[in-house]
Amino acid sequence: MTPALFGENASGWTDMSNHLVHFTKDYGGRDAYRNMLGILSGGVIRARNAFGICRKTAPDPQSQLATCLSEVPLHQLGRLSAKRSEHGIVFRKDFVIGRGGNPILYAYKDRAVAKAIKKLAQQAGNDAENPIWRVTPFVDVPGSYGTSQYFFEWEREWRVVGDFAFTPDDVVFLIIPENLHAAARSFVDDARTENLGPAYDCPFIDAHWDLETIQPLLANA
């Protein structure tokens, strides 16, 4: 029997999720939908940005590059899509954990935990092999910075250090606006028929669907 990687949530726990979502965004002159298609075609989410408490100070900046996901329940994605986009890719949580994913730690600015982590990083100095650098990409520091505020705990963020590779079988749902579902399904069918690339046969969901609409799909996910 394979050991469990995380505690599965009971079916009635609607405030919790067994899934993680990566929202795509407009980037490189392409909209979020086209960028999602590019990710699906290549089977990899690229870690393009550094994250965490030491994203600017780690001796090896590459060690802080990460891909980001959210564990916001699927029937509550509307609030996140309003900030990100209407397009995304959904994975099972245990799959992401198996690839090194972890929820981030919100260590509040100027408080004990943030101070302790910063001290450990300072003690590590320029030693790029120090284990602290494997922790720091997962630590954010919410707080007030001058006239700006940085508080994003509501996103329930997870990260994976480095690029995140996957296959069509690893994708549980694709997040696409409902009015585009038919066109997207036709695109997937053509990809399979004409052998144009990987075919994603998973269900499509809309980021604004409610629990009643989402619930039947979760039974097989």
Query: Is the four-CA dihedral 111, 112, 114, 116 of positive or negative sign?
Result: positive
Residue 189's pLDDT is 83
Closest residue by Cα to residue 109 from 144, 67, 158, 69:
144
| CA 86 to chain CA mean position, Å | 14
Q: Decide if 214 contacts 74 (C-beta within 8 A).
A: yes
Q: What is the pLDDT along the chain (221 residues), one digit of tens a residue?
A: 677 888 877 667 889 999 999 999 998 899 999 999 999 999 999 999 999 999 999 999 999 999 999 999 999 999 999 888 999 999 999 999 999 999 999 999 999 999 999 999 999 999 999 999 999 999 999 999 999 999 999 999 999 999 999 999 999 999 999 999 999 888 888 878 777 778 899 999 999 999 999 999 988 77
Residue 221's pLDDT is 78
CA–CA dist 102, 133 (Å, integer): 15
Q: Token pair of 196, please?
A: 């144009």
For the chain, give every domain's residue range: 19-51+58-103+156-214
Residue 1's pLDDT is 62
Q: Which residues contact 167 (CB under 8 A, 6 or more apart)?
A: 43, 198
Residue 199's pLDDT is 83
